[in-house]
Amino acid sequence: MDLQYRWMVFLYVLVVPCFTEDIYTKHMDNFINVVETIESENPSLGPLAVLRGLRKAAGINTPFIQHYLGPLGDKQSLVLKSTLTEYIYSILKHQVVQDLEKGVVLTADGTTVALTPLLLGLEAGLKPTSWPRVPGLYPLSLTKNLLLSFLQHSQTEPSTSSRLGPGGCWDNVTDPQVFTLSGVASLATDALINGGMDGVILGRHVAKPNKRLVTLSSLLRQYYNYQLDSAGLDGAPALISQLRRSNFRKLVSLASLKKQLARSLSLYRKLDEYQKKNKQEVEMDEGLKEFFHRYIDCPAIIPRCMWEAQPYRGTPTLLSLPLSFLYIHHTYEPSQPCLSFQQCSLDMRAMQRFHQDDRGWDDIGYSFVAGSDGYVYEGRGWHWQGAHTKGYNSKGFGVSFIGDYMSSIPSQRTMDLVRNQLAKCATEGGRLVSNFTIHGHRQLVSTSCPGDAFYSEIKGWEHFGEVKQ
Ligand SMILES: *[C@@H]1O[C@H](CO)[C@@H](O)[C@H](O)[C@H]1NC(C)=O
Ligand SMILES: *[C@@H]1O[C@H](CO)[C@@H](O)[C@H](O)[C@H]1NC(C)=O
């Protein structure tokens, strides 16, 4: 072994300490802790080398990836304890086995992210390139997965397959181990798309010439663990996971993503990963339109299983869509806006308990609830009649903002989540008529809801209307 080679081996050997069992949950916080430990034990490795080492440990390499990121040289061998290699493999390697999705982690904001597209985006961003082009950023993070999913969809019976999604539920939100999909899996699950959007956003960020990324773990922690303070989302930095969709929206258009998809397709064909006998045209336009609707126009909605809802009691009544009204409420109690997934979930459970046990209703009354953490929480949802606006529950969706808004109003971003994103999602998805009307609860029922200050505010919103007799 010559001296130079020996030096290379020395550089790339990672020393990994013992971990206690509780590190092995499928939570982003645990993954970040593992990365941080690897970094501190290997101070000579930069973020790019750490990323490549992780990818190698998980065996993530295809001709398509190599085309952009080059070969994973044999000399970059990671020496890991076998238990840690297992952990890295299981947390990075994306697979769907029946209805279980692996290679995904729960993040502090309550969303679920596939790690591979995130880390590939970061690796593309860290490769020395000529900014502002970042070769491989979109294909590695997102468009290859979209392409594969659209291809598969066009080759199967449309009624038995879906083009995008679904999301899913964790077995335990505090100690996540198993993620179960809530429907038939496409090749572009919600977690792959979340990880892909984060990969694009963060990969682009670290590619900027004036950015010096110190460690991977510090970047991930800043992005996934930002705690909102009383200024809420309006006072938050731009690059946080809670703002994933609005940040991604700023980077892409339908036309730019279409170009990226076409490029991924021709590379995929050239590398012969695609069976040429399948000459079928890919329905990219339809797929992209659905992608934009589901992941860019619609806000992310935290499903009932994630806030640990109790089941519906009794038999729900199906709504007849599209509806014509959106009724705005405040919760009054809890009186403080919730600023984290944990707090908002706690509030949702408290309201459900109150509505079910004290009021004797079947379920939490609202169709949806807006937290101030950047997310809409699913109450009765789009299809089941709520108990929010007495006498009008079959005519409109009831959306409540957590907090007491007698003398103050929700943050701009929280209001935007409902008045623009949720409303657009509803009209484009055929759940609300396009000329729907917004009413405050007090216009129909004798109540102070949604609070004096908030009611004055919504009077200025587009679609607000006086009650017609
Ligand atoms: C989830 O895991 C935590 C920590 O292990 C445990 O205390 C809790 O009881 C679990 N919750 C459920 C619903 O199983
Ligand atoms: C909405 O549009 C429909 C069909 O164009 C029309 O019949 C209805 O009166 C409109 N509703 C309102 C509130 O303007």
The DSSP 8-state label assigned to residue 209 in this structure reads T
From the CB of residue 329, how many other CB atoms can be counted at a distance below 10 Å?
25
Quick one: which ligand is closest to 434's CA? 2
pLDDT beyond 60 at 160:
yes
* Burial classification of residue 112, based on how many CB atoms lie within 10 Å of its CB (0-12 exposed, 13-18 middle, 19 or more buried): buried
**Ligand nearest to C-alpha 463:** 2
- State pLDDT tens for residues 366-400: 999 999 999 999 999 999 999 999 999 999 999 99
**Segment 114-141, tens digit of pLDDT:** 999 999 999 999 998 878 889 999 999 9
Q: Could you count the other beta carbons within 10 Å of the beta carbon of residue 378? A: 21
Q: What is the DSSP letter of 190?
A: H
Most informative mutation of 435, 437, 463, 466 for ligand 2 (most atoms within 8 A of CB): 435
Neighbours of 15 (CB within 10 A): 12
- Give the number of residues written for the chain: 469
- Retrieve residue 62's tokens: 């295809």
Q: According to the model, what pLDDT value does residue 198 have?
A: 98
Least confident of 189-198, 270-279, 307-316, 340-349: 270-279
Task: Pick the residue whose CA is nearest to atom 10 on ligand 1.
Answer: 172
Q: Is the dihedral of CA 79, 82, 88, 94 positive or negative?
A: positive
Q: Can you tell me the distance from the alpha carbon of 47 to that of 358, in angstroms, rounded to the nearest whole number?
A: 54
Burial degree of 465 (CB within 10 A; 0-12, 13-18, 19+): middle
pLDDT for 465 equals 98
The pLDDT of residue 3 is: 42
- Ligand 1 site: residues with CB under 6 angstroms? 172, 174-175
Q: Whose CA is nearest to atom 2 of ligand 1?
A: 175
Q: What pLDDT shows up at residue 72?
A: 87
Closest ligand (CA of 176): 1
pLDDT at residue number 464: 98
**Preceding amide of 334 cis, omega within 30:** yes
Distance CA 350, CA 338 (A): 13
Which ligand places an atom closest to the C-alpha of 27?
Answer: 1
DSSP letter assigned to residue 234 = G
Is the beta carbon of 323 within 6 A of some atom in ligand 2?
Answer: no
**What is the whole-number distance in angstroms between the Cα of residue 285 and the centre of ligand 1?**
44
Strand partners, 100: 97, 180
Compute the distance between CA of residue 401 and CA of residue 3 in angstroms, rounded to an integer.
Answer: 65
Spatial contact of 87 and 20, defined as CB atoms under 8 Å apart: no
Ligand 2 neighbour 435 (Cβ under 6 A): yes
Question: What pLDDT is attached to residue 85?
Answer: 83
The closest-lying atom of ligand 1 relative to the alpha carbon of residue 173 is 1
Q: What is the pTM of this model?
A: 0.93
Average pLDDT over residues 230-259: 95
pLDDT at 276 (0 to 100): 55
- Sheet containing strand 179-181, edge to edge, reads 95-97, 100-102, 179-181, 168-170
Residue of minimum CA distance from atom 11 in ligand 2: 435
H or E segment at 270? helix 254-270
Chain mean pLDDT for the chain: 91
309 Cα–ligand 1 center, Å: 15
Residue 386: per-residue pLDDT: 97
- Cα(172) to ligand 1 centroid in Å equals 6
The mean per-residue pLDDT over the stretch 247-252 comes to 96
Q: Which residue has the higher pLDDT, 265 or 146?
A: 146
pLDDT tens-place string over residues 252-310: 999 999 999 999 988 888 886 666 545 556 678 899 999 999 999 999 999 999 999 99
Question: Do residues 341 and 110 lie in contact, with contact meaning Cβ atoms separated by under 8 Å?
Answer: yes
Tokens of 371: 């937290």
Q: State in Å: Cα 319 to ligand 2 middle.
A: 19
For the residues 222-251, what does the mean pLDDT come to? 96
Which of these, 131, 133, 141, lies nearest to 211 by C-alpha position? 131
Sorting pLDDT into bands at 50, 70 and 90, what band is 8?
very low
Backbone angles phi, psi at 377, to 5 degrees: -105, 135
Q: Whose CA is nearest to atom 4 of ligand 1?
A: 175
Question: Do residues 92 and 59 make contact, with C-beta atoms less than 8 angstroms apart?
Answer: no
| Stretch among 210-214, 318-322, 441-445 having the lowest mean pLDDT | 210-214
Cis peptide before 311 (omega within 30 of 0): no
CA of 176 to the centre of ligand 1 (A): 9
Calculate what percentage of the chain has a pLDDT beyond 90.
78
Q: Which residues contact 135 (CB under 8 A, 6 or more apart)?
A: 68, 124, 127, 129
pLDDT of 274? 61
Cβ of residue 437 lying under 6 Å from some atom of ligand 2: yes
**9 has pLDDT over 70:** no
Contact by Cβ (8 Å): 381, 303: no
Protein residue with least CA distance to atom 13, ligand 1? 172
Q: Mention every residue, 6+ apart, whose C-beta is less than 8 A from residue 193.
A: 142, 145, 164, 291, 295
Closest C-alpha residue for ligand 2 atom 3 = 435
Tell me the per-residue pLDDT of 20-78, one tens digit each, with 9 for 90 and over. 445 689 999 999 999 998 898 888 888 999 999 999 999 999 999 999 999 987 555 55
Distance from residue 342's CA to the centre of ligand 1 (Å): 14
